[in-house]
């Protein structure tokens, strides 16, 4: 496995194509007793550096279901169901540390109050530094976002111009352990959507690692009966297929 330091997102290659990278994460929690619950989280991260282009595609799934006995009857309920897809395509400038990008994402969160949310943005991305210990990259550019409320809410779709900004910091403690901080925000005139993902990865062997992740999702555009802040904490196994 390539060092986890560079596994989260492709490095900035120079002058030649590299092999495609595909990294999978999987987590499962099952509890039994008075209340039976099962939580599944899975993620696939595919990326590649080409001579003039690079791309990254991410798919992320979260599902939680519980079963309990109420007044002698067993009741099953789903308490979390989320699908997130994103892709970014970069075009390399003469200095490959500087690029122009186009980014798109789609999110379907059953308990967010939205039927779905999607956005697209384009702009400038750059790596400020990279050494043997750490790396910092950022991107910024204008875009367009659409949020469709659930039909039962009888609310009009929200469509707005946005400014998307993101930064990613990595710190390699040693050959086995890597810290990563990613923050992105999409700011419109009447709402702001922000995501923060903090993770610590520890290599187990050549292809397998364990990862602890804490995610914050904050959206000021949700309806009044929906919380603006969602948090997720997960421990997952990470495997690099190739």
Instruction: Read off the pLDDT band of 2 (50, 70, 90).
Output: very low
pLDDT tens per residue across span 57-86: 999 999 998 877 666 677 778 888 999 999
Dihedral pair phi/psi, residue 229, rounded to 5°: -110, 130
Confirm if 164 and 143 have CB atoms less than 8 A apart.
yes
What's the angle, vertex CA 235, arms to CA 231 and CA 237, rounded to 5? 135
Q: How far apart are CA 53 and CA 92, in angstroms?
A: 6
pLDDT tens per residue across span 160-215: 999 999 999 999 998 889 999 999 999 998 889 999 999 999 999 878 999 999 99
Higher per-residue pLDDT: 123 or 33: 123
Higher per-residue pLDDT: 77 or 33: 77
Confirm if 136 and 129 have CB atoms less than 8 A apart.
yes
* Strand-pair partners of 52: none
Q: What is the mean pLDDT of residues 21-40?
A: 84
User: Can you give the pLDDT at residue 12?
Assistant: 43
Q: What's the residue count for the chain? A: 242
Is the pTM higher than 0.75?
A: yes
Only one residue has tokens 């659930």, namely: 150
Only one residue has tokens 């990470």, namely: 238
Provide the CATH number for the domain formed by 4-240 in this structure: 2.40.160.40
- Local structure of 57: helix, strand or coil: strand
């Amino acid at each position: 496995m390539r060092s986890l330091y560079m596994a989260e997102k492709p490095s900035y290659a120079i002058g030649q194509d590299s092999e495609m990278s595909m990294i999978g994460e999987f987590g499962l929690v099952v509890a039994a007793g008075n209340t039976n619950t099962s939580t599944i989280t899975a993620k696939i991260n595919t990326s590649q550096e080409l001579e003039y282009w690079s791309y990254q595609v991410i798919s992320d799934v979260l599902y939680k279901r519980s079963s309990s006995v109420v007044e002698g009857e067993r009741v099953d309920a789903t308490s979390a169901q989320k699908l997130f897809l994103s892709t970014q395509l970069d075009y390399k400038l003469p200095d490959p540390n500087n690029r122009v990008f186009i980014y798109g994402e789609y999110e379907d969160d059953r308990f967010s109050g939205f039927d779905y949310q999607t956005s697209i943005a384009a702009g400038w991305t750059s790596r400020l530094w990279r050494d043997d210990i750490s790396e910092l990259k950022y991107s910024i550019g204008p875009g367009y976002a659409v949020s469709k409320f659930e039909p039962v809410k009888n609310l009009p779709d929200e469509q707005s111009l946005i400014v998307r900004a993101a930064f990613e910091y990595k710190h390699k403690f040693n050959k086995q352990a890597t810290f990563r901080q990613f923050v992105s925000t999409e700011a419109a005139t009447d709402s702001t959507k922000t995501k923060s993902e903090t993770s610590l990865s520890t290599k187990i062997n050549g292809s397998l690692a364990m990862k602890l992740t804490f995610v914050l999702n904050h959206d000021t555009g949700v309806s009044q009966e929906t919380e603006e802040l969602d948090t997720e904490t997960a421990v997952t196994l990470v495997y690099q297929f190739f």
